[in-house]
Structure 1
Amino acid sequence: MANITAADVMKLRKMTSAGMMDCKNALIEADGDFQKAVDIIREKGKLVAAKRADRETSEGAVESRIHGNKGILVALGCETDFVARTEGFQALVQSIADVAIKEFPADTDALKACKMANGETVEKEIEVFTGKTGEKLSLVYYGRVEAPFIYTYLHKLTGKLGALVGFNKEVPEDLAKGIAMQVASMNPIGIYPEDCSQEILDREYKVAVEKTKEELVQKAIDAALNKAGINPSHVDSEAHIDSNTAKGWITPEQAEQARTIIKTVGEEKAASLPAPMVENIAKGRVQKFLKESTLTEQEYQMAGDKTIVKDAIAKVDKEAKVVDFKRISLSD
């Protein structure tokens, strides 16, 4: 059996960033062979990752980089805030961001395959750190922006929220920061209403139709209940009907009358809803959704009034436009 010294342990630790005991045990198992010891530590990381594959990684850190007309946004997730705050974890996030802006890969899989400064891939370094911490780590997000002018905002208080915004030209820093903060806080689904896919529009229209029908039916039921002298809020669920009957707020006869009204009026109203009216209301809801969910149509949070984002930008520079943005929040 090889004689494992403290210097050997430190050497392996520098090579892998693993814990002292993990390094010592790996060297003992490898009989002093450093390459085998490195492989053992890597395999341990894969094993831990496999065992904890179903764990959520809602903690972690977000980092960004900008170089010229290129910008990147990355998020490394872990299970606990304790691990996220360690120097090792933060250093790993920084290193991944450095690699991302240098290589500027097309997507997350390509970033995982990029080589770190020590020659190992991003994916393998994450596996090694997984073995070291005993927690699941995952590259939760990677996004990139190419634009003439780019600005980034990171929420330093939590370290779990970030945005990257590309403009068609340089704009004042206060405006760029304001728009980046807008993206981070308001989570728009696109820049312009026309950017929304048909799939999103169809989904929102379907939701709007169902919500409109439910509200119209409920409005008819409430009117019938009020006409019968029954407070609708006292009978809005079976649990409330039972509890309010027990409290004496409604009589058993009123409880049965309410059940009959809810059933009969609800069915009659649902069967007689005018389709054109439902469709018009639903279309209005979709337009409201687009106004609230697309960046240029949102109320600009930094304005303090009803000014929308596109008008706030035009007020500073009529030729300036947002051409792309990326956002990630580990808390969503």
Structure 2
Amino acid sequence: MAITAADVSKLRKSTGAGMMDCKKALTEAEGDFDKAVEIIRKKGQAIANKRADREATEGVVLAKVSADAKTGIMIVLNCETDFVAKNESYVDFATSILDAALAADAADLDAVKALDMNGQTVQDLVTEQTGVIGEKLDLSHFDKVSAEKVVAYIHPGNKLATLVGFNQADFDEQVGKDVAMQAAAMAPVALDENSVPADVKEKELEIGKEMARNEGKPEAMLEKIAMGRLNKFFKESTLMNQAFVKDNKVSIKQYLDNSNKGLAAVDFKRFTLNA
């Protein structure tokens, strides 16, 4: 049967595949639209398998909060080249996955991949887009923060994003943005000293002792010196104890409390493709 331009246009709109690919699929399917969609999808799967050994190290990191601002979700959709990562349709595709994850209140990465979007799972759509774009795509990372209020920040370029949860819901939006940007810029390893994993503390203490020993300090003083250096580590590397980048005379903890009595960050997530 004859394949019309309208048929090709409809298939292209439905799948995002190229015009010639759509025409070939419709011809192979003898005009059967659903069969043609299946052919396009199978082609996507074939290309995905063919490119499975390729490195998908570029991509986008996106974060967004729910309408009530009590939940924030972050996803990473990888591709092979920065050229594709900067493409508007690619960013839109990643954003549609993020929106679906947020709407479903997804719990983890597997849950996001299994979500239904327009009759297909997210994973199937990612595979399909591999065929359309011609690069390996990988939905590789998921983070979630729930709190009285969550603030999201995406650094220009979509390579770095943060989510910060707070213990109060009513405070100046700029304050939340300042702390989310602080987490992006200063890359804290934990929320506060209590959130630093025990093995990290032990490692820092051991390093502090060894440094003091190499400096010729008495053995009896090593523990005290190492503790001092550990406290310096907390100040430099934990979000609540870091000096506020806009005013280094106060810590983030002090900045928040000065902004709203008792206001504190209770959780944060940070991801960058540039590490």
The Cα shift of 1:288 comes to: 2.6
The equivalent of 2:265 in structure 1 is 322
Provide the rounded CA distance (Å) in 1 between the counterparts of 2:36 and 2:89.
20
Q: 1:136-160: per-residue Cα shift (whole Å, max 9, x none)?
A: 111232222222222222212x122
Aligned ranges 1:158-169 → 2 under 5 Å: 158-169=157-168
Query: Residues 35 and 276 (structure 1 numbering): CA distance in 2 closer, same or farther, change over 3 Å?
Result: farther
Q: Is the 8 A contact 1:152 1:162 kept in 2?
A: yes
Q: 1:191-212: per-residue Cα shift (whole Å, max 9, x none)?
A: 11111122333344455566x2
The equivalent of 2:234 in structure 1 is 290
Which structure shows the bigger proportion of residues in strand conformation?
2
The Cα shift of 1:331 comes to: 1.5
Q: TM-score, normalised by structure 2?
A: 0.88
Aligned ranges 1:20-31 → 2 under 5 Å: 20-31=19-30
More displaced 10-residue stretch of structure 1: 37-46 or 169-178:
37-46
> Tell me, which stretches of 5 or more residues in structure 2 are unaligned?
none
Query: Residues 174 and 47 (structure 1 numbering): CA distance in 2 closer, same or farther, change over 3 Å?
Result: same
Aligned ranges 1:184-195 → 2 under 5 Å: 184-195=184-195
Q: Is the 8 A contact 1:22 1:132 kept in 2?
A: no
Query: Residues 50 and 207 (structure 1 numbering): CA distance in 2 closer, same or farther, change over 3 Å?
Result: farther
Could you list the runs of 4 or more consecutive aligned residues of structure 1 that deviate by over 6 angstroms after TM superposition? none
Provide the rounded CA distance (Å) in 1 between the counterparts of 2:140 and 2:219.
44
Provide the rounded CA distance (Å) in 1 between the counterparts of 2:25 and 2:218.
73
Percent identity reads 44
Query: Residues 79 and 275 (structure 1 numbering): CA distance in 2 closer, same or farther, change over 3 Å?
Result: farther
SS of residue paired to 1:163: strand
The equivalent of 1:62 in structure 2 is 61
The equivalent of 1:134 in structure 2 is 134
SS of residue paired to 2:189: coil
Q: Is the 8 A contact 1:58 1:331 kept in 2?
A: no
Q: 1:98-145: per-residue Cα shift (whole Å, max 9, x none)?
A: 1011101100110111112x2211111111111111111112322222
- Counterpart of 2:62, as a letter, is E
- Counterpart of 1:329, as a letter, is T
The Cα shift of 1:180 comes to: 0.8
Provide the rounded CA distance (Å) in 2 between the counterparts of 1:209 and 1:42.
59
The Cα shift of 1:60 comes to: 2.1
The Cα shift of 1:182 comes to: 0.5
Larger Rg: 1
Which structure shows the bigger proportion of residues in helix conformation?
1
Q: 1:148-182: per-residue Cα shift (whole Å, max 9, x none)?
A: 222222212x1222112111112212211110100
Provide the rounded CA distance (Å) in 1 between the counterparts of 2:203 and 2:177.
32
The equivalent of 2:13 in structure 1 is 14
The equivalent of 1:197 in structure 2 is 197
Aligned ranges 1:1-332 → 2 under 5 Å: 2-66=1-65, 67-68=67-68, 69-116=70-117, 118-156=118-156, 158-169=157-168, 170-206=170-206, 208=208, 212=211, 216=214, 280-303=224-247, 305-332=248-275
Q: 1:276-308: per-residue Cα shift (whole Å, max 9, x none)?
A: 5555554444333222111111111121x3321
Query: Residues 283 and 28 (structure 1 numbering): CA distance in 2 closer, same or farther, change over 3 Å?
Result: farther
Q: 1:236-272: per-residue Cα shift (whole Å, max 9, x none)?
A: xxxxxxxxxxxxxxxxxxxxxxxxxxxxxxxxxxxxx
Provide the rounded CA distance (Å) in 1 between the counterparts of 2:129 and 2:147.
34
Q: 1:69-120: per-residue Cα shift (whole Å, max 9, x none)?
A: 222222222121211222321220121121011101100110111112x221
The Cα shift of 1:33 comes to: 3.2
Provide the rounded CA distance (Å) in 2 between the counterparts of 1:209 and 1:34.
70
Task: Give the total of aligned pairs.
Answer: 272
Query: Residues 205 and 24 (structure 1 numbering): CA distance in 2 closer, same or farther, change over 3 Å?
Result: farther
SS of residue paired to 1:287: helix
Provide the rounded CA distance (Å) in 2 between the counterparts of 1:203 and 1:39.
54
- Counterpart of 1:71, as a letter, is G
- Counterpart of 1:40, as a letter, is I
